[in-house]
Structures are given as C-alpha cells and as structure tokens.
C-alpha cells in the first residue's frame, strides 16, 4: 500500500518495489534488465495510484446467473516525458490497455537546469479528464511542472505524477506550482547534487544517491 505523506506525496511501501529499486540503483545493471524493472515498478506504482478511480455499477451474465460488477468511468491518458518516460508506458498499458498515450519531449538545459520543449503530440481535441505524467526522475521538478502546465492549458482536470525516484527539491517545486497534483513515487532520495558535487565531476541537478540518468541507462547511451 502507499502511505500518504505531507504535500500530496505517496511513497510506495511495497517490498517488491523496494527490491526492484535496488536493482535499478546498481551500476552493474544492464539496459535490458533496467528496462524490464522500470516496466515492473511502473505497473506497481500505477496500480497504487489508481486506487481512487471512479466506477460505474453494471450487471454481467456469468455461466450460472447474473452478477453485479463495476466498470471504469474514466478514460485515461498517459503522458510520458521523452525519452526516459517511455519506459514506463508499457507497464501501465498492461493494466489499462485502452488508455491513450500522448508524447511530450522535454530536455533540461544543463546550464540553467530549466526544461526546454522540443516535441509534443496531443490529439486535436482532448476529451479525457484524467492523465498520468510519466517520468522516472523528479529532480528539479521543471519538466514535471511544464508538463502539467501544458495539460491544464489543454483542459485536463485531474493529473497525477508517476515517477521512480524524487528529490525533496523536485517535490517542493511541483507541489508549490501544482498542489492539486498527487505525486506517486517508489522512493524519495536525499537531495540534488550541488555545485560542490560538480567540482568533483558529478553532474549538477541529479538526484543523490539516485540511479544515474534513467534515459541513458534504459537505452544504453551512457559511458558507464
């Protein structure tokens, strides 16, 4: 189950999530296994995040008689932030194969650490009222805030953020900009890397201790 913490943050307490997160952190984990574990954790986080989906009552014919049942009322959109968010899509589609997938390309300017939009693909008319923003790492929070800004401008009423790791700075930034957006993650780490860390050769604005660059590790574009 998830535990609701301050500021609309839900951190998974499932032992399997903790176990699989450890695999992601390990620098020896290869891209194929890394992608598989992202798939698995994403499924579990989405399962927990969908606890409040509204249902409509219905009746079905069983082999013996009729039975009362329930069907989802909401249609759901998934918005992976390219490129690392792509790895989270399939795990959630396994649970809700009817969901729509929209794509949003953002990259972080390495000097300003601000998000830059380079691609977006949404339907001309958005009829869905429920969306998940998918990004494994909530670091500075800039990309998540930009994604939520865009969705709200397009009229999406209910938005949740799903990620693997978060830094306290990213949580604070996203909550301050959009306090209504629930944040569901596998774990909250200690902090972001600082200027002092950069002097030691570490990249600035990364989650510490983290797991590195989730996109590079999924797609094999890291030097490690």
Hey, what are 88's tokens?
């989270």
Q: Give the helix/strand (H/E) hosting 97.
A: none
- Which residue do the tokens 């909250």 mark? 188
Is 217 an annotated catalytic residue? Answer: no
Is 109 an annotated catalytic residue? Answer: no
**Which is the catalytic residue, given 22, 58, 112, 221?**
112
**Which is the catalytic residue, given 108, 154, 191, 197?**
108
Is 112 an annotated catalytic residue? Answer: yes
Q: Please give the Cα distance from 99 to 42 (Å, whole number).
A: 15
- Which residue do the tokens 């790492």 mark? 137
Closest CA to 146 of 224, 205, 79, 73: 79
Is 127 an annotated catalytic residue? Answer: no
**Which is the catalytic residue, given 25, 35, 191, 216?**
216
- Which residue do the tokens 């300003």 mark? 112
Other CB atoms within 10 Å distance of the CB of residue 23: 16
Query: What is the set of active-site residues?
Result: 108, 112, 213, 216
């Amino acid at each position: 189950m998830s535990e609701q913490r301050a500021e609309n943050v839900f951190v998974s307490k499932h032992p399997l999530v903790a176990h699989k997160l450890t695999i992601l952190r390990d620098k020896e984990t290869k891209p194929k296994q890394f992608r598989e574990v992202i798939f698995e954790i994403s499924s579990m986080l989405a399962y927990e995040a969908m606890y409040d989906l509204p249902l409509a009552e219905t009746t079905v014919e069983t082999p013996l008689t009729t039975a009362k049942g329930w069907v989802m009322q909401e249609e759901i959109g998934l918005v992976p932030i390219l490129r690392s968010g792509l790895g989270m899509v399939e795990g959630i589609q396994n649970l809700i194969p009817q969901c729509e997938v929209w794509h949003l390309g953002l990259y972080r300017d390495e000097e300003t650490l601000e998000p830059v939009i380079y691609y977006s693909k949404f339907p001309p008319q958005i009829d869905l009222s429920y969306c998940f923003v998918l990004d494994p790492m909530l670091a500075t929070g800039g990309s998540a805030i930009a994604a939520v800004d865009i969705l709200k401008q397009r009229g999406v009423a209910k938005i949740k953020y799903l990620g693997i790791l978060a830094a306290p700075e990213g949580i604070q930034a996203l909550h301050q900009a959009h306090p209504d957006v629930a944040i569901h993650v596998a774990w909250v780490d200690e902090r972001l890397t600082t200027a002092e860390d950069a002097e030691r050769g570490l990249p600035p604005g990364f989650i510490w201790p983290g797991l590195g660059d989730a996109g590079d590790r999924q797609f094999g574009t890291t030097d490690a």
